Structure formats: C-alpha cells, structure tokens
C-alpha cells in the first residue's frame, strides 16, 4: 500500500488487519466463542463480486480459489477468550 494516495478500501483493509491480529479486539484472533464453543466470523469488503457477504463454506471456497491464506479454528482461540467462555455465569 502506498503511503499517500492509497484508496479508501486499502486504508480500511489495513486497519481491519491490525485490529483482527490484536487479541484484545473481539474479532479475528481472540474472537469470542458462541454458545456451542466455536468461533463464527465473517468479514466483507467486496469489490470483486456482486455479492456483499460470504459466510461458512461458500466464503472458504471463494477465498481458496485465488489462493488467499486460510487458517484453522485454533488461530482464533486465545486462552483469555476461552476462560471467559468457560467461566460460570451468574444469572
């Protein structure tokens, strides 16, 4: 990305990457766990498709076709988020 003259999409993408790589942010690495103990994530900056959001298997397939990096579920897990998930909740 160029220091000056980068597109708005480039700026947004760079910002989101920083946030999602920070385990203190609750998306990407350090994402919260759903009730079933899994992380469910989605993201969307679409300028290559008429679609605005892909999820699940369709998103994985769409990302794999051009060779985008794929990571397994363990990438998103942090001990802090897991402990928060497993901690008994007061009702």
- Mark out the alpha helices in the chain (DSSP H runs): 8-20, 56-64, 79-86
> Model pTM?
0.71
Alpha-carbon dihedral of residues 10, 45, 58, 19, nearest 10 degrees?
A: 70
**pLDDT at position 1 over 60:** no
Domain count, the chain: 1
**pLDDT at position 2 over 60:** no
Query: Does residue 71 sit within a domain?
Result: yes
**pLDDT at position 85 over 70:** yes
Backbone dihedral region of 51: left (phi > 0), alpha (psi from -120 to 50 degrees) or beta? beta
Query: Does residue 91 sit within a domain?
Result: no
Check residues 32 and 49 and name the one with the higher pLDDT.
32
Which residues form the domain of 21? 8-86
pLDDT at 4: 73
Query: Does residue 3 sit within a domain?
Result: no
Query: Does residue 16 sit within a domain?
Result: yes
Query: Does residue 70 sit within a domain?
Result: yes
pLDDT at 25: 85
Q: How far is CA 49 from the centre of its chain?
A: 19
Query: Does residue 27 sit within a domain?
Result: yes
């Amino acid at each position: 990305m160029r220091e000056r003259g980068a597109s708005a999409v480039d700026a947004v993408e760079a910002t989101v990457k920083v946030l999602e790589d920070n385990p203190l942010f609750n998306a990407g690495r350090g994402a919260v766990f759903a009730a079933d103990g899994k992380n469910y994530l989605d993201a969307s900056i679409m300028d290559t498709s008429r679609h605005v959001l892909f999820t699940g298997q369709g998103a994985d397939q769409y990302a794999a076709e051009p060779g985008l990096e794929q990571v397994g579920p363990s990438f998103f897990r942090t001990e802090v988020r897991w402990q928060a998930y497993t901690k008994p909740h007061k009702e």
